[in-house]
């Protein structure tokens, strides 16, 4: 009770301004907190190992820092990008092309760059139509199922291959017959047959499930498009987080490197970890077979990511030209023999 | 001479009576009535009033230019829009993150760019063709149902039950179902659109029909009109304000549902409409194009309201005096 209640308008104004100030001001972020988002799938095995064995906390303690890790699951690269831009998450993970998109759009501003790779994995374009042997055999009646039509890893890989075969101007040729469907739905549609979905640009572990079916055959592998083993998913963050939290960042990077060593030391144990952490219903023998597949390399060193940057700039998807893969990776990752 | 004498006598007699009356006023009021009945009112001389000369110059005064401009409603609405655009621009500059909130100028550039390259116009055309198809089918079905409701008892119960069940159901909730039934093509979009238009329009039309006055109905029966002809010549014109309100609501629902369905639905048979344009640009982090797409949605809504519906109203219900 005092003068404030005699001037309700002034009090309301002060409260509103205070609220706006609180909302607009960026929260002060002390070192020792990191929020990470991952998607589902065998491609995130490194993160599953990090989570289960609490490697970030361990490496944080080595630097004398008590790190609190917040794990989230988000579906889709677009949602990841938006959460990162809005400041809701510190580190997000998605395919190489979405990371390049956000790098391109934030260059000179938030400067989003990649932290490390999450492993190299092939993505197969599968079809249940026997007369489709190469992508030239696709007609207007076919439908290719991808998780994010036009913008995701699989669509961009297909666009690069289309540009190679039909010219840079026609890179969007198969976007017209691409349909957005999550991997599980596309897998069942392709195996069951009878729907318009006649092809699915799949990822591990779904492609291995589909290939067990006699009707499904492989049309294209992402490794063929890129000329060899290529990184599938990457982790990325803003420059602000990287610069303001050097110790947390280093602890995180070291945790990833250690997880890579753990997986390579005992792949079958890693397969068990995957099933435990992601509560997967896949049978253990299948997961072990995938983890032991020689085409798959769980490494934090990026492989052939520059080809994406180069080709996507050529077809006009990226406005900025990268001179090397080091342009879109933070310095800690520059040590390995990346590409 | 005799007349004048009798007139004077009468006057003296009246004055005497008046004096008597003035005296007896202090008596009871009940006696007053018999006294006034026999008297005529006092007569006064006629006279003429001299009018002051008329000196006001103009009956009509010219208002200042600024006031005349302000009286135009479109001027005031434009000023409001400009003020909103200014606030938006300032807020965007303060925010400084053009991937989250692009400024008004960036959005305008993306919008003009979309029109010049024809991309935005092509997408708008695709959306509008699907919308018109769904809208017309919805209108035909609504009229069929309402005619049935007005003519038969079962029709009335059917309309009432179906509307109360299905009106609250959002059309987007039906989209996965319609994808299963109709596949990935245009037909599933049209199904969802028809659902969003049908119930609101049927409800409004039925309420309008119920409100038609008895006189007009009897006039119709007088002419021997029955069934469809009765509905066409009597009920529809009489209920036109309600029907137009239903059409406007149905249009708004359909437009919203179409944009939302295209966002969820993705590209159908290789061509996507405005919702798909917004969705894809959001995926590619071209937020200024997202805003340009939203601006296109708003502008089309404004255009349909101000060009189509208000003209229909002007030519029908306003001209007939049914609506102010």
Task: Give residue A237's pLDDT band: very low, low, confident or very high (50, 70, 90).
Answer: very high
Provide the token pair at A269. 């144990």
The closest CB to that of B284, out of A101, A175, A177, belongs to: A101
Contacting residues of A for B270, CB less than 8 Å apart: 140, 175-177
DSSP state of A48: H
Annotate B14-55 with DSSP letters as a single string.
HHHHHHHHHHHTTS-GGGHHHHHHTPPPPP-----PPPPP--
Instruction: Provide mean pLDDT across the span B56-63.
Output: 78
Average pLDDT over residues A185-191: 87
- Report yes or no: B204 and B163 within 8 Å, Cβ to Cβ: no
Q: Is residue B208 one of the residues assigned to a domain?
A: yes
Q: Where are the beta strands (DSSP E) in chain A?
A: 33-38, 68-73, 91-95, 113-117, 124-127, 143-146, 178-180, 197-201, 217-221, 233-237
The pLDDT of A52-81, averaged and rounded, is 89
Q: What is the mean pLDDT of residues B164-186?
A: 85
- Homologous superfamily (CATH) of A124-226 is Periplasmic binding protein-like II (3.40.190.10)
Distance CA A16, CA A34 (A): 31
**ipTM metric:** 0.74
pLDDT tens track for A254-312: 999 999 999 999 999 999 999 988 888 888 998 899 999 898 999 999 999 999 999 99
Whether residues B280 and A148 touch (CB distance < 8 A) is answered with no
pTM confidence score: 0.75
pLDDT band at A74 (very low <50, low <70, confident <90, very high): confident
Higher pLDDT, residue B7 or A316: A316
Q: Quick one: pLDDT at residue B182?
A: 84
Instruction: Tell me the mean pLDDT in the region A15-31.
Output: 58
Among A147, A141, A135, A139, which residue's Cα sits nearest to residue A187? A147
By C-alpha distance, the chain B residue nearest A106 is: B99
CB contact under 8 A, A78 and B100: no
Contact A288, A324 (CB under 8 A): no
Please judge whether A150 and B99 are an interchain contact, meaning their C-beta atoms are less than 8 angstroms apart: no
Task: State the nearest Cα–Cα gap between A315 and chain B, in angstroms.
Answer: 14
Q: What is the pLDDT of residues B94-113, one digit of tens each?
A: 988 888 889 999 999 999 99
* Residue B305 burial (CB count, 10 A): 13
Q: Which CATH number belongs to the domain containing residue B289 in this structure?
A: 1.10.3720.10
Buried b (16+ CB within 10 A) or exposed e, A249-272: bbbbbbbbbbbbebbeeebeebbe
**pLDDT tier for residue B223 given thresholds of 50, 70 and 90:** very high
| Start-end of H helices in A237-317 | 239-244, 246-265, 267-278, 284-291, 305-315
pLDDT at A102: 93
Whether residue A30 has pLDDT greater than 70: no
Q: Give the span between the Cα atoms of A250 and A116, in whole angstroms.
A: 12
CATH ID of A33-120+230-335, from 3.40.350.10, 3.40.190.10, 3.40.50.1980, 3.40.50.1000: 3.40.190.10
What DSSP letter does each residue of B53-114 carry, written as one string? P-----SS-PPPHHHHHHTSHHHHHHHHHHHHHHHHHHHHHHH--TTTS--HHHHHHHHHHH
Q: What is the dihedral of CA B246, B248, B249, B252, to 10 degrees?
A: 150
DSSP B267-287: -BTTB--HHHHHHHHHHTT-H
How large is the C-alpha radius of gyration of chain B?
Answer: 37
> Which pLDDT band, with edges at 50, 70 and 90, does A23 fall under?
low
Q: Name the average pLDDT for chain A.
A: 87
Inspect the interface and report whether the beta carbons of B270 and A176 lie closer than 8 Å. yes
Per-residue confidence band for B263, with pLDDT thresholds at 50, 70 and 90? confident
Question: In this structure, is residue B308 part of a structural domain?
Answer: yes
Residues sharing a CB contact under 8 Å with residue B253, sequence separation 6 or more, in sequence order: B171, B196, B197, B200
- Range name among A45-49, A254-258, B272-276 with the lowest pLDDT average: B272-276
Are A270 and A49 in contact by the 8 Å Cβ rule? The answer is: yes
Which of the four pLDDT bands, split at 50, 70 and 90, describes residue A189? confident
What is the total count of domains within chain B?
1
CB distance A151–B184 less than 8 Å? no
Judged against a pLDDT cut of 70, whether residue A6 lies above it is answered with no
A33-120+230-335 and A124-226 in the same fold: yes
Confidence of residue A2 (pLDDT cuts 50, 70, 90): very low
B89 located within any domain:
no
C-alpha angle with apex B223: B218 to B229, nearest 5 degrees? 95
Determine, yes or no, domain membership for B63.
no
Q: What percent of chain A has pLDDT over 70?
A: 92
Residue A28, pLDDT > 50, answer no
B28 touches chain A (CB under 8 A): no
Q: Work out the angle at residue B301's Cα, subtended by the Cα atoms of residues B193 and B139, and round it to the nearest 5 degrees.
A: 35
Q: Distance between CA atoms of A191 and A127, rounded to whole angstroms?
A: 9
Nearest-CA distance from A78 to chain B in Å?
Answer: 5
Higher per-residue confidence, B210 vs A193:
B210
- Per-domain boundaries in chain A: 33-120+230-335, 124-226
User: If you average pLDDT over every residue of chain B, what do you get?
Assistant: 86
Q: What is the b/e burial string over B113-143, where b = at least 16 CB atoms within 10 angstroms of the residue's CB?
A: ebeeeeebebbbebbbebbebbbebbbeebb
The range of the structural domain enclosing residue B186 comes to: 106-315
Report if residue B3 sits inside a domain: no
Q: Residue B29: is its pLDDT beyond 60? A: no
């Amino acid at each position: 009770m005092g003068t404030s209640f005699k001037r309700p308008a002034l009090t309301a104004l002060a409260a509103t301004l205070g609220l706006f100030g609180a909302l607009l001001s960026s929260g002060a972020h002390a070192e020792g907190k990191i929020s990470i988002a991952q998607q589902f799938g065998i491609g995130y095995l490194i993160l599953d190992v990090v989570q289960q064995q609490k490697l970030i906390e361990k490496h944080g303690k080595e630097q004398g820092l008590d790190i609190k890790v917040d794990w989230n699951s988000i579906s889709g690269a677009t949602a990841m990008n938006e959460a990162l831009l809005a400041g809701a998450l510190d580190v997000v993970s998605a395919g190489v092309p979405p990371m390049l998109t956000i790098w391109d759009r934030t260059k000179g501003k938030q400067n989003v760059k990649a932290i490390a790779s999450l492993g190299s994995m092939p993505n197969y374009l599968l079809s249940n139509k026997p007369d489709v042997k190469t992508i030239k055999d696709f007609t207007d009646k076919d439908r290719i199922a991808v998780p994010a039509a036009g913008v995701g890893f699989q669509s961009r890989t297909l666009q690069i291959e289309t540009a190679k075969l039909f010219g840079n101007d026609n890179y969007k040729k198969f976007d017209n017959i691409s349909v957005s469907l999550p991997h599980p739905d596309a897998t069942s549609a392709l195996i069951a047959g009878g729907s318009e979905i006649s092809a699915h640009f799949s990822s591990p572990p779904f492609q291995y499930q589909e290939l067990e079916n006699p009707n499904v055959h492989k049309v294209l592998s992402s490794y063929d498009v890129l000329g060899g083993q290529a990184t599938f998913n990457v982790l990325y963050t803003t420059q602000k987080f990287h610069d303001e939290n050097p110790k947390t960042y280093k602890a995180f990077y070291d945790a990833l490197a250690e997880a890579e060593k753990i997986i390579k030391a005992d792949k079958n144990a890693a397969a068990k970890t995957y099933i435990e952490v992601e509560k997967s219903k896949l049978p253990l023998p299948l997961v072990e077979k995938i983890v032991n597949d020689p085409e798959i390399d769980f490494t934090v060193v990026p492989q052939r990511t520059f080809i994406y940057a180069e080709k996507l700039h050529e077809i006009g998807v990226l406005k900025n030209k990268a001179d090397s893969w080091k342009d879109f990776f933070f310095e800690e990752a520059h040590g390995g023999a990346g590409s | 001479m005799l007349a004048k004498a009798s007139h004077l006598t009468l006057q003296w007699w009246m004055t005497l009576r008046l004096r008597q009356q003035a005296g007896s006023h202090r008596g009871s009021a009940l006696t007053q009535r018999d006294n006034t009945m026999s008297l005529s009112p006092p007569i006064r001389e006629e006279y003429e009033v001299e009018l002051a000369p008329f000196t006001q110059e103009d009956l009509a005064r010219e208002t200042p230019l600024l006031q005349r401009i302000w009286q135009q409603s479109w001027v005031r609405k434009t000023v409001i829009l400009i003020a909103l655009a200014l606030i938006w621009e300032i807020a965007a500059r303060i925010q400084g993150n053009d991937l989250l909130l692009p400024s008004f100028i960036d959005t305008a550039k993306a919008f003009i760019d979309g029109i010049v390259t024809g991309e935005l116009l092509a997408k708008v055309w695709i959306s509008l063709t699907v919308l018109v198809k769904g809208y017309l089918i919805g209108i035909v079905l609504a009229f069929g149902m309402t005619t049935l409701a007005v003519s038969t008892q079962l029709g009335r119960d059917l309309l009432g039950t179906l509307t109360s069940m299905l009106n609250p159901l959002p059309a987007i909730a039906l989209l996965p179902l319609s994808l299963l039934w109709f596949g990935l093509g245009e037909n599933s979009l049209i199904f969802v659109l028809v659902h969003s238009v049908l119930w609101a329009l049927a409800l409004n039309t039925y309420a309008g029909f119920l409100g038609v006055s008895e006189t007009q109905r009897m006039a119709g029966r007088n002419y021997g009109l029955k069934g469809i002809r009765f509905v066409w010549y009597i009920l529809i014109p009489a209920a036109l304000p309600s029907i137009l309100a239903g059409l406007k609501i149905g249009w708004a629902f359909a437009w919203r549902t179409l944009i939302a369905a295209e966002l969820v639905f993705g590209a159908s048979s290789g061509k996507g409409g405005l919702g798909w344009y917004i969705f894809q640009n959001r995926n590619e982090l071209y937020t200024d194009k997202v805003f340009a797409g939203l601006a296109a949605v708003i502008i089309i809504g404004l255009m349909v309201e101000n060009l189509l519906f208000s003209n229909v109203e002007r030519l029908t219900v306003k001209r007939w005096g049914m609506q102010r």
